[in-house]
Amino acid sequence: MGKELKRDLQTDVLVVGAGPAGCMAAMDLARQGINVLVADRSQFPREKVCGDGLLEDSLQILESVGLGSEVQQKAHPIRSILFVAPNGTECELEGNFLTLPRKDLDALLLEEACKAGAQFLGGITVSEPLVQNGVCAGALGLDEEGHEINITARLVLLATGANARIMRVFGVLQNRNHSAIGVRGYFRLTETIDESSMVVVYDKRILPGYGWMFPLGQGIFNVGCGIFLEGRKRMPRFGQNLTGFYKHIQPLARYLQMAEQIAPIRAAAMRTGFQGARACAPGILVLGEALGLTFPFIGEGISSALESGRIAASVALEALEKNDFTSRILARYEVDLRKRLDGRQQGYQAAQRLFRFKSFANLLIGKAARNPDVRKVARQIVLGERDPLDVFSLRGMLRVFLLRRKA
Ligand X SMILES: Cc1cc2nc3c(=O)[nH]c(=O)nc-3n(C[C@H](O)[C@H](O)[C@H](O)COP(=O)(O)OP(=O)(O)OC[C@H]3O[C@@H](n4cnc5c(N)ncnc54)[C@H](O)[C@@H]3O)c2cc1C
22 binds ligand X (CB under 6 A): yes
159 binds ligand X (CB under 6 A): yes
Q: Which residue is nearest to ligand X (CB)?
A: 301
* Residue 19 main-chain phi, psi, to 5 deg: -80, -170
Q: Cβ-count burial of 117 within 10 angstroms (0-12 exposed, 13-18 middle, 19+ buried)? A: middle
Under 8 Å between Cβ of 81 and 198: yes
Of the pair 139, 365, the CB lying nearest ligand X is at 139
393 CB contacts (<8 Å, ≥6 apart)?
347, 350
39 binds ligand X (CB under 6 A): yes
301 binds ligand X (CB under 6 A): yes
Of the pair 48, 332, the CB lying nearest ligand X is at 48
Distance spanning both ends of the chain, measured CA to CA: 60
- d(CA 183, CA 241) in angstroms, rounded, equals 8
A 10 A CB-CB count for 363 gives: 18
A 10 A CB-CB count for 190 gives: 9
Of the pair 54, 363, the CB lying nearest ligand X is at 54
18 binds ligand X (CB under 6 A): yes
19 binds ligand X (CB under 6 A): yes
153 binds ligand X (CB under 6 A): no
Least Cβ distance, residue 401 to ligand X (angstroms): 29
126 binds ligand X (CB under 6 A): yes
Under 8 Å between Cβ of 140 and 125: no
Cis peptide before 45 (omega within 30 of 0): yes
Of the pair 100, 319, the CB lying nearest ligand X is at 100
42 binds ligand X (CB under 6 A): yes
- d(CA 264, CA 338) in angstroms, rounded, equals 37
Compute how many residues bind ligand X; rule: CB under 6 A: 39
Of the pair 164, 374, the CB lying nearest ligand X is at 164
- d(CA 280, CA 291) in angstroms, rounded, equals 10
- Secondary structure element (H or E) that encloses residue 322, with its range: helix 302-322
31 binds ligand X (CB under 6 A): no
213 binds ligand X (CB under 6 A): no
- d(CA 252, CA 200) in angstroms, rounded, equals 10
Q: Residue from 10, 125, 327, 380 that binds ligand X (CB under 6 A)?
A: 125
272 binds ligand X (CB under 6 A): no
Least Cβ distance, residue 290 to ligand X (angstroms): 6
- Per CB under 6 A, residues contacting ligand X are 16-22, 39-42, 48-53, 125-126, 159-161, 163, 166, 182, 184, 224, 226, 268, 270, 288-290, 294, 299-302, 305
